[in-house]
Structure 1
């Protein structure tokens, strides 16, 4: 790389982007990153320096075109601003490159309500007719069912989800992810398997053909309305702790009078906790003394906890009126830890907020159950992004 710069009469600080090979291996990635840092990590650099691994996602031919993806500096600035608005520290995905003649398989992983932020679909609504048509369809269907409007939450960057009801927030989240699936399908990209975490299980069931679009909007809207009717709104809160379930249980056990309980097992090193607002804040202060990251989640309910038990009976009655079809593609349940395959008998499969959501804590022990879709050497557990957009 240094020789190439010399031949081109360029300084390292003149380069702002490097396309990396992205092998997905511990040795290869470290060696490559170190080499790039040694050559381009100039202390006198005045412009940002970025690296990318497009090839790992869309192949060598796509990587060659990376240099031509931006038509103008102004467009680049706008796109970088959009990326910064939508970026979070937990949205990191490690992938393995395909080798030989066998094609890789794509899985879609759908997130929960915690990923919502104002204007999260505005850019694609402006640039993709397929995405916008899908959003408009969801909005019309939800309106016909009597649910409150939520389109502004998808389009307006200035809106905060906390100013909207749970019904509006969850329907907006559903709509954006349904539209994203439609967008990728229009690009010829379809999943070989789907998986959803928490609220994301509904979208996974829709993409797999288990539930219709009308049914997931109906179920999500009805579920959210039941939650809103809980008298404990605002009394409970949730905390995300960067620690294992065992560690978090030990922290909770040290406070025997606390109402806190483990609610979500998001990964081996990320655990969600529900409890009374007072107890959650006290636990958060204690956890910080252990040098653990522990953001308070932007929700007004104790999701995934026994606090929502009063909604179960009525919700199950509602769900029993919906038709569940056999999946058209494999569906991995993060709640059940199992894989439903095409041809499996159709059965009611409704995510329940009162059961801890567990997102594949051990890939090695789940290889048989999940049909070899995951490789623990190159794939780490996905995490729901609970933090509000910053």
Structure 2
């Protein structure tokens, strides 16, 4: 297996440098064609064996440590948008921001953007495209759409507002889950220490004369099991999780099964479907209202999605649209074939938008409604998780307390017989 670096053109002729893993150069070219890109053998810039050293190199650990935080990227984009709205050119804007920027990492990125502007280019997309870590496909689509209008500055400001809104919502729920997880880990560690090292001390108190209460006996057996097999269990669990994660990442069928399982899981499944449908509505509405071609907008949605089941749904919709169907008909077709993972409200939105010729605005309304629904469903999911979480903690605490309490009572009641 090799990693090929290829300079390919998308459906609109924009050149992009891409990396793709394949067994041969022919297969690499064909894989790019399947993704909607055009390239020839002469466009292959580099090919290297998919070895461990190359994988470590591709991680770019030093570069990641010095990367620009997303909040600084959004600040940069907002300043560019405001400056363009006031009639300044992109290069003048970047030079002004760079001269007054304190962050060395961001200043370095700005300088590289300016260097790209000094080279021949046919579209401003080529200035930002070499930095996909900072400027995603949605951003590049907005840049391309803004070049044909006088509203690029406004588009970029709106983009940063939406990104900030998404980041705040994601950070809020991630923060709640992380706090629950950290609390659970702390409680679990304390429980393991008590069971493994404190509980065994009671064995000396009982000796052979007293019958040990059942709860304490359970904890004694659990303590002996943890002390004997604890390290082995940790090693097996770590190896199992690592192996399963690798299989899911590297095997397409395994990844499909896992993503399908998540989308159909109780509670989580509906929440994820709502999230992906809201994401679909957001990207399409944002891009369509900025006059981006719907097929190009769909391809941007695909590149911004990580779930392979959703990607397959979007690709089927694109094929139907390329065959002459409108978005509504394509979504309906997927739903009737049982292959759609989107919630039903998107179908009605597509129908209304197609009939009124305001598909972008209609999808934006749906996206706003889905944001509220998503918030409610995520809150319910977190509430259900919290109930289970606290129930486990309380059950553990009650059982340990009962075991210790019952042992103390038995020992106290039989103290005279032990003298």
Give TM class, smaller chain: under 0.3
Larger relative contact order, structure 1 or 2 (CA cutoff 8 Å, min sep 6): 1
Higher share in helix: 2
| Larger Rg belongs to | 2
Higher share in strand: 1
